[in-house]
Structure 1
Amino acid sequence: MFFLELFQQLPVKILTVALLIIITVYLIRKSIKLFFDKTSFLDEKREETLMHFTNQVTKVLGLVIFFIYVLSHFFKLEKLVTGSVVVAGALALIFQHIIRDYIMGLTYLFERQIHHGDYVIINGNRQGKIEEISMRHLKIRQYDGYLYTISYSSIMELQNGNRGRRRVNENLVLNYRQNPDDAFKVMEEVAQTCNEKYGEYLLKDEHGIPLESFKFNQITELNVDFRGHRYSLSGLVKEGDFVEASKKVRYELAMAAYKNDLMMAESLNTSH
């Protein structure tokens, strides 16, 4: 009788339901993980992406069910549901950006545009490795170590490295007073140096021939921010070597600029 009366108390009921929800969420996640471990329908990255998304979904559903249960003890559920239709309409207008995040998140996931661990460039100025895929946003670890979070509705452009391959694309922005002929000669030498020293990073075909060697792409943009012109160098490398290859190419560009006294573009705010 004591335990029966104890379980009739509201705080105990709420704690019991909360515990049951936590256990249920854990079992669902564990079951899905075991399913992926025992099967090979999907590749590893796809499985990892779905697991991250499942964790987010089960967390949200668990919280929703818990709050509905708690509210049902203070309000009549029938009236709550009826009134919630009107409330839902109002909330949809207020939280339209959040709703759009969820819809776009589902689109990115089910169209397989992104996977956990992919290297991406977002809106042309943020790049790094995807560390978390939630229902509303992405988190990417940038090369400077910072963790960048962006909502799906804020993504105007997303570039994803092809599976197994990435294109290194590094550049120098040189002063507009720099002689292009001299710059061209230096950049061609850098491309040749990179092919000789870092050829192992290049993606190769079945005959061991690079699909795209390091090459100088000449001037890819004029008058960048009214400071100078952009001279670009690129090469197709293995995805796993992308970060290291980029570092090496940047080093060679910096060293070549130093040794050949190339005139780097300066900020408009530079004072002399």
Structure 2
Amino acid sequence: MFFFELFQQLPVKILTVALLIILIVYFIRKSIKLFFDKTSFLDEKREETLIHFSNQVTKVLGLAFFIIYLLSHFFDLEKFVAGSVVLAGALALILQHIIRDYIMGLTYLFERQIHHGDDVIINGNRQGKIEEISMRHLKIRQYDGYLYTVSYSNITELQNGNRGGRRVNESLVLHYRQNPEDAFKVMEEVAQACNEKYGEYLLKDENGVPVESFKFNQITQLNVDYRGHQYSLSGLVKEADFVEAGKKVRFELAIAAYKNDLMMAESLNTSH
């Protein structure tokens, strides 16, 4: 009788429901993971991506159910929902950016354009490994160590280096006073040197021909952070050689910039 009365108290009810939702979410996540552990009809990266995404979905749904339960003790939900059609429409207009993020996120996921752990380039200037795929955004661990978060609706261009190989994409940001004609000549020479020295890293087809040799992509971004222009070089390399090939290309770019006295872009905080 004591326990029955205890469970009739609102704080105890709310706490019990919260714990129950947490347990249900936990068991759903465990079940999904166990399912993929016991099956093999999807590749490992695809399974990892779906597990990661399902964790995000169950978290949001669990929180939504808890909020609905909480509101049911303070409002007549039937009347509240019936009288909230106009409010819902207004909220949809206000939250259209967020809704678009969700829709585009589902599109990226189910069209298999991205996987957890893929090396990607976002909007031409953010390069790194996908560390988190949520319902609204991607988190990219850049090669400089910084974590970059971008919502799906703000992605205008996505290059995936894991599709058919790994794409090395390195660049120099040169001062806006640097003569582009001289820079073009140097970058073309660097691309040629990389093909001659590091051709064994390139991904090749069944005939032994490189799928995509190292090439100069000209100016890929103007006035980067108001400092200068970006000159990029890329090449499609074998998975196992991606890290080493990137190091070699960066070395060649650094040597070329030094030997040819290219004017590197400077930070706005640089003092003379």
Q: Tell me the TM-score normalised to structure 1 length.
A: 0.84
1:66 matches 2:69: no
Give unmatched runs, 5+ long, in structure 2: none
- Please give the alpha-carbon distance, in whole angstroms, between the structure 1 residues aligned to 2:29 and 2:202: 39
CA apart distance, 1:102: 0.7
Q: 1:135 to 1:247 in 2, by over 3 A?
A: same
- Indicate if the aligned counterparts of 1:191 and 1:233 stay in contact, CA closer than 8 A: no
CA apart distance, 1:229: 8.5
Which residue number corresponds to residue 53 of structure 1?
53
- Indicate if the aligned counterparts of 1:178 and 1:262 stay in contact, CA closer than 8 A: no
1:29 matches 2:32: no
- Please give the alpha-carbon distance, in whole angstroms, between the structure 1 residues aligned to 2:90 and 2:241: 50
- Please give the alpha-carbon distance, in whole angstroms, between the structure 2 residues aligned to 1:145 and 1:232: 21
Map 1:135-174 onto structure 2 (within 5 A).
Answer: 135-172=135-172, 173=174
Which residue number corresponds to residue 176 of structure 1?
179
Q: 1:168 to 1:35 in 2, by over 3 A?
A: same
1:106 matches 2:106: yes
Task: Name the % identity.
Answer: 72
Which residue number corresponds to residue 220 of structure 1?
218
Q: Which amino acid aligns with 1:118?
A: D
- Indicate if the aligned counterparts of 1:164 and 1:238 stay in contact, CA closer than 8 A: no
CA apart distance, 1:105: 0.7
Which residue number corresponds to residue 119 of structure 1?
119
Which residue number corresponds to residue 191 of structure 1?
194
CA apart distance, 1:214: 5.0
- Please give the alpha-carbon distance, in whole angstroms, between the structure 2 residues aligned to 1:20 and 1:271: 60
- Indicate if the aligned counterparts of 1:190 and 1:253 stay in contact, CA closer than 8 A: no
- Residues 184-218 of structure 1, C-alpha deviations (whole Å, 9 max, x = no match): 785366325xx43x4453223457x352575454x
Which residue number corresponds to residue 20 of structure 1?
20
Question: Aligned pairs, how many?
Answer: 266
Larger CA Rg, structure 1 vs 2: 1
- Residues 227-268 of structure 1, C-alpha deviations (whole Å, 9 max, x = no match): 99876544321234323321221112212333x344335569
Moved more, 81-90 or 171-180: 171-180
- Please give the alpha-carbon distance, in whole angstroms, between the structure 1 residues aligned to 2:112 and 2:48: 12
Q: 1:109 to 1:262 in 2, by over 3 A?
A: same
- Please give the alpha-carbon distance, in whole angstroms, between the structure 1 residues aligned to 2:141 and 2:46: 19
Q: Which amino acid aligns with 2:120?
A: V
Structure 1 SS opposite 2:148: strand
Q: Tell me the TM-score normalised to structure 2 length.
A: 0.84
1:248 matches 2:248: yes
Q: Which amino acid aligns with 1:71?
A: L
Which residue number corresponds to residue 131 of structure 1?
131
- Indicate if the aligned counterparts of 1:131 and 1:139 stay in contact, CA closer than 8 A: yes
Which residue number corresponds to residue 4 of structure 1?
4
Q: Which amino acid aligns with 1:264?
A: M
Q: Which amino acid aligns with 2:46?
A: R
- Indicate if the aligned counterparts of 2:122 and 2:155 stay in contact, CA closer than 8 A: yes
Structure 2 SS opposite 1:131: strand
- Please give the alpha-carbon distance, in whole angstroms, between the structure 2 residues aligned to 1:77 and 1:6: 25
Q: 1:154 to 1:234 in 2, by over 3 A?
A: closer
